[in-house]
Structure 1
Amino acid sequence: MSNESRAEVLARLPLRDDLRGRTPYGAPQLDVPVRLNTNENSYDVPAEVAAAIVEAVRQEAGHLNRYPDREFTQLREDLANYLGHDLEADQIWAANGSNEVLQQLLQAFGGPGRTVLGFAPSYSMHPIITVGTGATWVDGKRGRAGQATDDPNQFDLHVAETVEQIERVKPAVTFLCSPNNPTGTALDLDVVKAAYDATDGIVIVDEAYTEFARTGTASALTLLPGRERLVVSRTMSKAFALAGARVGYLAADPAVTDAIRLVRLPYHLSSLTQAAARAALWHSDVLLDTVEAIKRDRDRIVTSVRELGLNPAPSDANFVLFGGLADEKALWRSLLSRGVLIRDVGLPGFLRVSAGTPEETTIFLDALADSLLDAPVTV
């Protein structure tokens, strides 16, 4: 074998110039007792739902010699029924996780010579997918001038500041995120309406965590009528506990799904994936029971970390961003040494933790208290 490193070989390959020096997405996958770093649903798929999925897949297995339904018609109908809001199946699109849905949108509406705007901090895959599809990413700003650096409210979006940035950048695609990752905060729909009116491009509202939102939090699905350039993306990875199945979807004007058909790969959603997703949707009431349990532990985290002297963001997701840390990396390492893995999202003074089972949440909170006692790292 050559003594050259893989990095040396990669440097010689005819890689696109705009990809050189970049790093791939990757959250640490470490073997520790408590993993609360990737916003997974900490509850296993209930036995009755798992059995229904297995049976649905079994019925498809004997016909794998045939291509799947390219239009995944029945799945689109089931997703429309689940979402409600008088949505029809021709307004729904699905793919292998919401990341592929977003990639297809950017293949259709982004690409070389076009700009995509997002508001940092937000979901780290948005810029990665943008660059991967050849468009130019622009980091927008959140909050207002003069806010304290340890104040989680500094990450809110406001109408005037959002509109000013859209009008200045003139993006082909604008990303909004509600609840936002990594802050967990939901978006006022006035911001969505103002963003839409400020551009002639596509506006994508990423609602991956919307099932965890607090009572009264409105969805951008209510804004779809009359807005042909508005897209709302969702996932079955979080609330439905199907991260391993890779199913994401969107709701939009039917013309948007027609645009995606121009770039999607044929038969992109396998028969097995379609069957598993449909079986899960038929048991949505059982699966969503865990959502309420997760919300209780999320709220317990918010209350408990505040009592420890930290500054948590008011979360509408299944995770909590908390600030007030003088050395977030030291605290992250201290928690890891105690068998608890959470997420350093790259924000100075902040860390993010997923809400786990009651037992996992208790272990995290005890480890956090011990870490702060042993080596105080708060501001």
Structure 2
Amino acid sequence: MDDQLERLNSLPLRDDLRGQHPYGAPQLDVPIQLNVNENTYGVPADVQEAIVEAVRAVAGGLNRYPDREFTELREALAEYLGHGLSAEQLWAANGSNEVLQQLLQAFGGPGRTVLSFPPTYSMYPLLASGTGTAYLRGERSADFSLSPESAAAQVREHAPNIVILCSPNNPTGTALGLDVVEAVYEAGEASQSIVIVDEAYAEFAQAGTSTALTLLPGRPRLVVTRTMSKAFALAGARLGYLAAAPEVIDALRLVRLPYHLSAVTQATALAALRHRDSLMAEVEAIKAQRDRIVRELTRLGLAPAASDSNFVFVTGFEDPQAVWRGLLEVGVLVRDVGIPGSLRVTAGTEAETTAFLTRLEELLAH
């Protein structure tokens, strides 16, 4: 590894990339993988069949470039989201990470800043670095909450070009109130900040949790990003998307690569959207296991956060690394997110959740 690092450093690498580490959770071959918030139920059989048929239908035309504007997919995404959205307000790319990257390419860059509020999604500073955008670390309360007053004050203080709000937040799983989004948007008026609300886990939210999609009318600097990796069980297909004012979509056309969304990806996403009832049934099953985890961890004397996502962030461990290793010994992989005394666990199937809870109780007893 030292030799490899030495060879890397011998290249004319950008100075701001020297010493950086690539994003990545452990990819271990274990039976129960509850560390990267995937939909562990998998793609239902009827959706698999629909995807195969959709891909077969476009396979004969793969010698041609795909629809550069992915018009049919944008229409389908607008219909899925509702809230009066039109295809002109929708955009998609290869995962929500690429959607965020395109936003930073269009509105960030050298001499510009992006503000977010750790602990939050660890890709935000990496995306900032990759686009030459300075990353500003905002602050949360000791319980990791973020009030409208605090968030707005920090936006006024830093005057960022971009603000990213993760809701439900990763890794804590908690959703922001819309009052936070409204306060941040208003505070960013003077600096004309683009405000991005990352709603990757929105389909798993508790009943009564509102989406920032309701705030889009009259707010041309507001962007709401989503993904099909989680609720739609398509992490391997790479399809992320956003809703915003049409002029934001026009800005992204300036930075996207030509024909960036393949015909196969478009066909896969369309098939999944047409069969979303099967996938949403899995979402309800996942939410039941998530709530079960919260109840059981509370019973065990730990402090799980009330989750609006498909995972649970839990504190109260004396030695989280020892617990992580003890779970791995029986083939259960969870995520150490680097926050003292805490771990994060994805809600799996009923059997996976039982295996996790059983082993965890054994570890805590000893």
TM > 0.5? yes
The match for 1:330 is: 322
SS at match of 1:234: strand
Structure 1 residue aligned with 2:78:
80
- Partner amino acid for 2:345? V
In structure 1, stretches of 5+ residues that fail to align are 148-153, 375-379
Provide the alpha-carbon RMSD of the alignment. Answer: 1.0
* TM-score, scaled relative to structure 1: 0.95
2:35 to 29, 32, 37: 37
Alignment of 1:1-379 (within 5 A): 5-143=3-141, 147=142, 154-199=143-188, 200-374=192-366
Runs of 4+ in 1 over 3 A off after TM superposition: none
State the AA in 2 paired with 1:319.
F
Q: Number of aligned residue pairs: give it.
A: 363
1: CA distance, partners of 2:86 / 2:31: 44
What are the Cα deviations for residues 229-265 of structure 1, in whole angstroms up to 9, with x where unaligned?
0000000000000000000000000000000000000
Q: Any idea what SS the aligned residue of 1:263 has?
A: coil
In the TM superposition, residue 339 of structure 1 has moved relative to its aligned partner by 1.4
Q: Deviation per CA, 1:9-28, whole angstroms, max 9, x where unpaired?
A: 10110111111101000100
> Which whole-Å CA distance do the structure 2 matches of 1:253 and 1:241 have between them?
28
Aligned identity (percent) is 65
Q: Secondary structure at the match of 1:49?
A: helix
Q: Give the letter for the 2:335 counterpart.
A: R
Task: Report the secondary structure of 1:126's partner residue.
Answer: helix
- Please state how far the C-alpha of 1:334 moved relative to its aligned partner: 1.2
Q: Could you say if the C-alpha distance between residues 32 and 247 of structure 1 is closer, same or farther in structure 2, counting changes exceeding 3 Å? A: same
Structure 2: stretches of 5+ with no match in the other structure? none
Between the aligned partners of 1:136 and 1:167, the Cα distance in structure 2 is: 17
Which amino acid letter does the alignment assign opposite residue 159 of structure 1?
P
CA apart distance, 1:4:
8.0
User: CA, structure 1 residues 253+8, in 2 after alignment: closer, same or farther (shift >3 Å)?
Assistant: same
What is the CA distance between 1:338 and its match in structure 2?
A: 2.0
**Letter of the structure 2 residue corresponding to residue 255 of structure 1:** E
Provide the secondary structure at the position in 2 that maps to 1:120: coil
CA distance in 2, matches of 1:22, 1:284: 39
Deviations, residues 104-161 of structure 1 (Å, cap 9, x unaligned): 0000000000010000000111111011100000111111xxx4xxxxxx11110111
Classify the secondary structure of the residue corresponding to 1:5.
helix
The secondary structure found in structure 2 opposite 1:320 is strand
> 1:301/1:15 Cα in 2 relative to 1: closer, same or farther (>3 Å)?
same
